[in-house]
A and B are shown apart, each in its own frame.
Chain A
Amino acid sequence: MGSQAADQPERRQQLNQGLLAPTERERLIAAMAATCAEKGYAATEVAEVLSRTGVQRKVFEKNFAGKADCALSAVDQILAETTRAAASAFRPELADWEKLLRGVQALLELFAAQPSYARLACIEARGAMGAEAYERYTAGIRVLIAMLDRARAYAAVSAPASATRAAIGGPEFLIRRELIGGRAERLPQLLPDIIYGTVVPFLDQQEALGYAELAREILRNGG
């Protein structure tokens, strides 16, 4: 059951914009993400996904090896879009701090636009979905750690090794809280606080507050 058109970020973007009609596979993945977001992965049954889409079981079985395979496809989809969104923000002409700020902003906007997928990647893949999904989650975190470790070059003091993981944990916690509370639309507004939490272990506190203020300015100016 390899990755198909539904998992390609470019096609996803066109689907999100309503420029393409979704295939049955894409509808199944979307319904799996939505059902898992409502009930949790463990409590989700394929029958409910089929009922939501009106797709027959034999079509599901043709596309996926089972529930886990379908849910993993949804996780892969949002991870691919996250990578794409972050990469587009990391433009070489930008200063390091602005790359970070724009990358976080892109991620928050993506999660706000696709809360079911975000929940699957940030909550279900982390806890409920088993080893393969957890590996994808931790791989995503490792990428973020590598990106943030660049900020250590500017560190005012030598923060402990776990500080980078912890600095990502704060924003993750806020994101999970909003997703669990059904307030995904608020995520982009958290940019200033998230930027502060991400950089304060490595910079002078006043400097970190300054970056939070810059983030507020970006939001005031409409992004």
Chain B
Amino acid sequence: MASLVPDAIIRMTPTEMEPAARDRLLDSMLIALAEQSRAVLSLPGVLADAGVSEAEFAAEYTDVDACLAAAYQRLTARIETVVRAGCESGEEWPERVRGALGALLGELAGDPQMARVLTRTYPSIDATAQARYQAFVESFAPMLSGGRELAGSAELPAEVEALALGALEAILFEEIESGRAAELLELAPSILFSLLVPFLGPGQATAEMEKARRGS
């Protein structure tokens, strides 16, 4: 006779965490980081908020930093998925970049507290965390490389994708840091200019910026 208990539950040890509990824990970790900073982050408080026991925590994570790393990875993976979906919305390369940018700005504007965790609070923890943030930003480079084909006969510099991403990151970091994350979507046309200009030059990048302003 078949068991009435789902396989996933049978496989769990008594201290293994359910996916929903893990999600709550990782969310609580990032909220605690945003509100308290890493130096004073209280694990018992986070566990209480998430409804997770110490035994469950210990079965999955070696320490708070390992849990924070998992929470950050989950945050960046979610943003990457949203941005990739936005990138698939257009036919031509500039439209795809515009779609991806709109999706990214929408995510950040929708949750300014998490936007700051993404760009500053978590990366400031230590050198490894900073490297994770850098790698997250760099992960968008393949989405931009299609722009090379639009540069005509010009051979673009090897680092042109990184230059475009750095331009984007600088604006995002400053706006978030200045408490203006919620207004990021208003900057979409001018940020689009800076993302496109290393590939297309200022003339075409301006034309794309104007199209974005008109919403066409």
Contact = CB atoms under 8 A, between A and B. Distances in A.
A179 B39 CA distance: 25
A contact patch SS: helix
Nearest to A173: B166
Interface residues of A, number: 50
A196 B198 contact: yes
Interface stretch (A63-71, A81-89, A93-101, A156-164): A156-164
B126 interface: yes
Contacts of A158: 206
Interface residues of B, number: 51
B129 interface: yes
A42 interface: yes
Contact of A162 (B138, B155, B190): B190
B194 interface: yes
Interface stretch (B5-13, B69-77, B103-111, B167-175): B167-175
B125 interface: yes
A39 B191 CA distance: 33
Contacts of B125: 40, 42-43
B206 to A, nearest CB: 5
A40 B163 contact: no
Interface string A24-53: 000000000000011111110000000000
A169 B134 contact: no
Nearest to A127: B124
B209 interface: yes
B197 A180 contact: no
B127 A43 contact: yes
A117 to B, nearest CB: 15
Interface string A126-155: 111000001000000000000000000001
Return the 10 tightest CB-CB contacts between A and B, nearest first. A169-B170, A173-B166, A205-B201, A170-B163, A166-B194, A197-B163, A166-B167, A160-B190, A128-B124, A40-B126
10 contacts: A40-B124, A41-B124, A42-B38, A166-B167, A171-B163, A177-B134, A180-B131, A193-B160, A200-B197, A209-B155
Interface of B: 38-39, 120, 123-131, 134, 137-138, 151, 154-160, 162-171, 173-174, 177, 187, 189-191, 193-194, 197-198, 200-203, 205-206, 209
Interface of A: 37-43, 123, 126-128, 134, 155-163, 165-174, 176-177, 180, 190, 192-194, 196-197, 200-206, 208-209, 212
